[in-house]
Amino acid sequence: MLQDWGKELFNRPHAVHLAPDETIWCTDEGDHVVYRCTLDGALLSTLGQKGAPAPEFSGEPFNRPTQTALTPDGDILVADGYGNARVHKYAPDGRRLLSWGEFGTDPGQFNVVHNIACDADGFVYIADRENYRIQVFDTAGKFVTQWHNLFRPCGLYMHGTRQPIFFVGELGPFLAINRRYPNIGPRISILNHKGELLGRLGAPHAGTEDGTFIAPHTLAIDSHGDLYVGEVSYSAWDHVFPGAPRPRRIRSLQKLARVS
């Protein structure tokens, strides 16, 4: 470890997003706010009021926000999240410009807005986790299309900014009726910018061996092309392996080396 910070700032941080200006946007779903910080942890600005959530299901910002993204124009998009079914768009000066989404299963509706990304052409990609899909919008919130060949998409990493490649962490089944079904996760799916499947990583079932997954929650790729997969293995263990003794230590991060 080179450095750590945020002990006095965060309650329950959910995700971070590194902006082109090398500032970090951090969503704290425990305190219902979004922070913008320097790489050294200095707080630059805050969206929302710390510890003061909007009423649950109200659609007002924020109730347990999950992730942020930047538009090509520098506006901030906030996925909101666990206690809402909304996306909020803010100007760089912190003014809210618009919001879109509501609870449901139709196009433009959400069931756990878990992750968000925006490419250089202004397409917004949203991991609509419990609707088992990724939805695509423009930056004004207009629905464009949706991708359905996914199982509880949780992590969403966009590699590249024009016609990007997407790495999608899928949680896999938690229900007793389908927990042992093969080939539905947990896994990593790789999609192009049209939602076409390029490949998948993982095994037919959840596992603790290298190259298998328990609950992939977030992803990133480094400058060498190696893939990092963060898992919420501890909290997911009893859902994935009910009745099995929980190991003293459970893997929470894997690095998968790029293969040419």
pTM of the model: 0.96
Angle at 205 (CA atoms; ends 204, 208), nearest 5 degrees: 125
Residue 3 predicted with pLDDT over 90: no
pLDDT at residue 260 tops 70: no
What is the average pLDDT across 67-83?
97
Angle (CA) 198-203-208 rounded to 5° is 130
What pLDDT was estimated at residue 248? 87
Question: Does the pLDDT value for residue 143 go beyond 70?
Answer: yes
Tell me the per-residue pLDDT of 97-111, one tens digit each, with 9 for 90 and over.
999 999 999 999 999
Rounded distance between C-alpha atoms, residue 36 and residue 56, angstroms: 24
Q: What domains are defined for the chain?
A: 1-148 (2.120.10.30), 161-260 (no CATH)
Lowest-confidence pick of 2-6, 118-122, 132-136, 230-234: 2-6
Read off the pLDDT of each residue in 223-229 and give the average, rounded to a whole number.
Answer: 94
Task: Give the separation between CA 28 and CA 11, rounded to whole angstroms.
Answer: 7
Residues 14-39, mean pLDDT to the nearest whole number = 96
Residue 32 near residue 14, CB atoms below 8 Å: no
Q: 234 falls in which pLDDT band (50, 70, 90)?
A: very high
